Amino acid sequence: MTVRLLTNIGRLWTGHEVCGNAAILVHNDRIAWVGRAADLPQSVPGVVNDIVDVDHVENLGGALVTPGLIDAHTHPVYAGNRYAEMAMRSGGSSASAIAAAGGGIGSTVTVTRGTDPWTLCNGVRERLHDWLISGTTTVEAKTGYHLTRDGELADVRLLRELEKEPMMPRVHVTFLAAHVVPPEFFGRQRDYVDAVSSWCADAAAAGADSVDVYCDDGHFTADEARWVLASGRNVGLMPRIHAGAYNRRGAVQLAAEMSCASADLLHHASDEDLSVMARYGVPAVVCPSTALQVGHLPPVRRMLAQGIPVALGSDHNPGHCGITSMSLVIGMAVAAFGMSVNDALRAATMGGAQVLGYNDRGVLAPGRVADIVQWDADHEGAFAWSFGLKARRVWRGGIPVQ
């Protein structure tokens, strides 16, 4: 058993309150006590016969401390890059022109399928480690670039196994075989929908936590998404949905109907959509990097005003965004969405925990996992100033990250 005392915390942002001159007592992988350093108890129930016998004391030098951040929307399992496509898009090229030049999701599928498992694994490992050392201790990670049964299941297992390695974040695995229709199913989209639905049970057995469908023009209809999400839900996968990134296809209404754990992106969400989400308690995951690239910002301030739970995601993927820093995402959310720093920080901690179905993280409180970040600042306002605030130290389950 290990007892670790983090002390001389200048400003402790717990998720529920802010505390100055604070300390945190960690017992093994859990928080045993948190509060003002002057109130540190001599005994804590459950800690070494209730007596606080500290093994490690770490002086944090008056810094800001928060819960580990949570990235609620990522696509990290891929090979290759699409830099040329990014350059074309920035120069005004259309999606059809990019596709004609060999770009688009299909190009990543081709490269990923042709990459050996060892190389693919190393790439994913490096990305996940980048998240962790920048202060993100939980990452939602989607499959979706193999689009075959064996490839998608292998991706689920890869993510699950990488999570067990030292210096990796916690991973919430989302099965996204319903990303696009692969080339071998050209003209047979319904057959592919049936195939993906039949793979859901295997994905759950392989370790997936959620099932996702990209519901949009060029992807899948609401009826097709309903079939896949129902199949996943029937085998214990949490349903979530890419809710109409470009043109609305009834995805938000479907999210309410299917009790989805989240509706993501929401760049074109209407007042009607927000009313549905508020009425049925559908949380939103918004991604400022992608919103800025497509030129449509989701109405986040109106979401918050209507009581819709909001989480933040980087939307890391090979075709739009390479961000692995949630502190950067927080700064972008403040600037682009008009969120307050506190609202953005909550969305990147408590909000992420809610949409991913976790009640053991996202806040600093007794009994929660000891996922903790010390920042290179003394106030949370620095997230809005630095655009990528540096994490000075990270603890994942009470263990310092090197």
Assessment of whether the complete model's pTM goes beyond 0.85? yes
Strands (DSSP E) contained in 136-288 are: 136-142, 170-178, 210-215, 238-243, 262-265, 284-286
pLDDT of residue 296: 92
* Segments making up each domain of the chain, as ranges: 3-67+361-400, 69-79+115-356
Tokens of 132: 């962790």
Question: Taking the chain (402 residues) in consecutive chunks of 10 residues, what is each chunk's mean pLDDT?
Answer: 92 97 96 95 65 81 98 98 93 88 93 98 98 98 98 98 97 98 97 98 98 94 97 98 74 96 95 96 97 94 98 97 97 98 98 98 98 98 97 97 86
pLDDT of residue 48: 46
pLDDT of residue 47: 57
Q: Is 373 exposed, middle or buried (0-12, 13-18, 19+ CB in 10 A)?
A: buried
pLDDT of residue 51: 47
Tokens of 124: 């994913």
Q: Which residue is listed with tokens 């992106």?
A: 265
d(CA 187, CA 342): 48
Q: What angle do CA 24, 28, 34 make, to 5 degrees?
A: 15
3-state secondary structure labels for all residues of 228-261? HHHHHHHCCCEEEEEECCCCCCCHHHHHHHCCCC
What residues contact 128, with CB distance under 8 A and at least 6 apart?
76, 139, 141, 162, 168, 169, 171
* One CATH from 3.30.43.10, 3.40.630.10, 3.40.50.2000, 3.20.20.140 for 69-79+115-356: 3.20.20.140
If we measure between CA atoms, which residue out of 176, 154, 400, 384 comes closest to residue 392? Answer: 400
pLDDT of residue 135: 98
pLDDT of residue 247: 53
DSSP 268: T
Going across the sheet that includes 262-265, the strands are 69-71, 136-142, 170-178, 210-215, 238-243, 262-265, 284-286, 310-312
- In contact, 292 and 332? CB cutoff 8 Å: yes
- In contact, 383 and 159? CB cutoff 8 Å: no
| CATH class belonging to 3-67+361-400 | mainly beta
Q: Which residue is listed with tokens 């007596």?
A: 51
pLDDT of residue 288: 97
> By three-state DSSP, how is residue 383 classified?
helix
Q: Is 119 exposed, middle or buried (0-12, 13-18, 19+ CB in 10 A)?
A: exposed
pLDDT of residue 402: 77
pLDDT of residue 374: 98
